[in-house]
């Protein structure tokens, strides 16, 4: 059965991995019921691409500077983001500031620099009345501290894998929590428990394609070392990921599809007008 209301709330169709066949990738996802994709930018150089792809496919986009790229970014990029947001704020396909946040997992990153860019982008989101799409990687408490100091109109905590208390704190601040391929792994016990215990209206679906492959696409490290490539995730995997979550929650898939679509529109209010 085909479902028309799946929204992939986090998909990097502008990634180099999709350059050879992005149109076919998006068509395949649409054929499987993925009605809409949200395309967050990760660098200043990527802003035009996400905007163009969103227009081409009838999707939406977010503009921001990802924490992993703050080392190569300059303060003038923040000024450029402010100017770009001012220029595009009338574009209904611009739905958020993102992907922004903090990464306390990858070694060698400058934590103070990440925080500087994160806080500056929160201020821009507040100025322009836009929600944010957050990168959360062992950084939930630090992200929450800044959000309490610089309130924004909610958004999505992407690839959430924190504690129950942290989840409740994000929800209290108006955020939905993004769940994707990671919950398809049977060993992800804490994440699966969280995905089943949270209120249904707290959850949105995502792929993070081409990254964060679900279990059926994942290539273990030993096989990768032997030359086998990692499976490429794509938005076409979203319905199957959704089925895993529906099974965990003992819900019919169509009920989860409707709820996750409504939740995405609540997190990113401009989506509602785009979906009609």
Alpha helices in the chain (DSSP H): 22-31, 47-57, 75-88, 111-128, 140-149, 164-172, 189-197, 221-225, 238-249, 253-267, 271-275
**Is pTM, for the whole model, over 0.85?**
yes
CA distances from 108 to 72, 102, 113, 212 (A): 13, 13, 12, 22
Average pLDDT rounded to a whole number, residues 111-130: 98
Average pLDDT rounded to a whole number, residues 241-264: 97
Hey, is 18 helix, strand or coil?
helix
Can you tell me the distance from the alpha carbon of 235 to that of 206, in angstroms, rounded to the nearest whole number?
8
Share above pLDDT 70 across residues of the chain, in percent, rounded to a whole number: 99
Per-residue confidence (pLDDT) for residue 1, from 0 to 100: 39
Residue 2, pLDDT > 60, answer no
- Looking at residue 209, the DSSP 8-state letter turns out to be B
Per-residue confidence (pLDDT) for residue 123, from 0 to 100: 98
| 228 assigned to a ligand binding site | no
Hey, is 178 helix, strand or coil?
strand
Hey, is 207 helix, strand or coil?
coil
Put residue 7 in one of left, alpha, beta given phi > 0 → left and psi -120 to 50 → alpha. beta
Provide DSSP, 105-168. SSTT--HHHHHHHHHHHHHHHHHHT--EEEEEES-HHHHHHHHHHS--S-EEEET----HHHHH
pLDDT digits (tens, 9 = 90+) for 57-88: 999 999 999 999 999 999 999 999 999 999 99
pLDDT digits (tens, 9 = 90+) for 142-178: 999 999 999 999 999 999 999 999 999 999 999 999 9
Q: Are 246 and 256 in contact (CB under 8 A)?
A: yes
| 77 assigned to a ligand binding site | no
Side-chain half-sphere CA neighbours of 129 within 13 A: 5
Under the banding of pLDDT at 50, 70 and 90, the label for residue 4 is: low
| 12 assigned to a ligand binding site | yes
Domains in the chain and their CATH numbers? 6-275 (3.20.20.140)
Hey, is 21 helix, strand or coil?
coil
Per-residue confidence (pLDDT) for residue 72, from 0 to 100: 96
Can you tell me the distance from the alpha carbon of 120 to that of 264, in angstroms, rounded to the nearest whole number?
25
Average pLDDT rounded to a whole number, residues 242-267: 97
pLDDT digits (tens, 9 = 90+) for 31-63: 999 999 999 999 999 999 999 999 999 999 999
Can you tell me the distance from the alpha carbon of 272 to that of 276, in angstroms, rounded to the nearest whole number?
6
3 or 224, greater pLDDT: 224
Hey, is 179 helix, strand or coil?
strand
Q: Is 60 exposed, middle or buried (0-12, 13-18, 19+ CB in 10 A)?
A: buried
Per-residue confidence (pLDDT) for residue 5, from 0 to 100: 82
Per-residue confidence (pLDDT) for residue 229, from 0 to 100: 86
Residue 243, pLDDT > 90, answer yes
Under the banding of pLDDT at 50, 70 and 90, the label for residue 225 is: confident
Tokens of 138: 């062992």
Tokens of 155: 């958004």
Per-residue confidence (pLDDT) for residue 12, from 0 to 100: 98
Per-residue confidence (pLDDT) for residue 274, from 0 to 100: 96
| 10 assigned to a ligand binding site | yes
């Amino acid at each position: 059965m085909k479902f028309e209301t799946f929204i992939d709330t986090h998909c990097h169709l502008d990634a180099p991995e999709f350059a050879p066949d992005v149109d076919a990738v998006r068509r395949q996802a649409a054929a499987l019921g993925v009605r809409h994709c949200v395309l967050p930018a990760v660098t200043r150089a990527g802003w035009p691409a996400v905007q163009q792809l969103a227009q081409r496919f009838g999707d939406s986009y977010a503009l921001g500077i990802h924490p992993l790229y703050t080392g190569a970014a300059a303060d003038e990029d923040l000024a450029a983001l402010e100017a770009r947001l001012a220029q595009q704020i009338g574009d209904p396909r611009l739905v958020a500031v993102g992907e922004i946040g903090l990464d306390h997992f990858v070694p060698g990153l400058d934590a103070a620099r990440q925080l500087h860019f994160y806080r500056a982008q929160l201020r821009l989101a507040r100025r322009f009345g836009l929600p944010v799409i957050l990168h959360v990687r062992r950084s939930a408490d630090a992200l929450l501290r800044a959000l309490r100091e610089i309130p924004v109109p909610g958004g999505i905590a992407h690839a959430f894998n924190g504690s129950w208390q942290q989840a409740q704190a994000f929800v209290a601040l108006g955020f939905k929590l993004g769940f994707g391929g990671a919950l398809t792994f049977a060993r992800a016990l804490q994440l699966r428990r969280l995905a089943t215990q949270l209120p249904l209206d707290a959850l949105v679906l995502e792929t993070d394609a081409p990254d964060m492959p679900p279990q059926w696409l994942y290539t273990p490290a030993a096989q990768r070392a032997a030359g086998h490539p990692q499976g490429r995730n794509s938005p076409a995997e979203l319905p199957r990921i959704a089925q895993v979550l529906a099974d965990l929650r003992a819900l019919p898939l169509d009920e989860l599809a409707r709820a996750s679509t409504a939740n995405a529109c609540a997190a990113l209010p401009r989506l509602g007008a785009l979906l009609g």
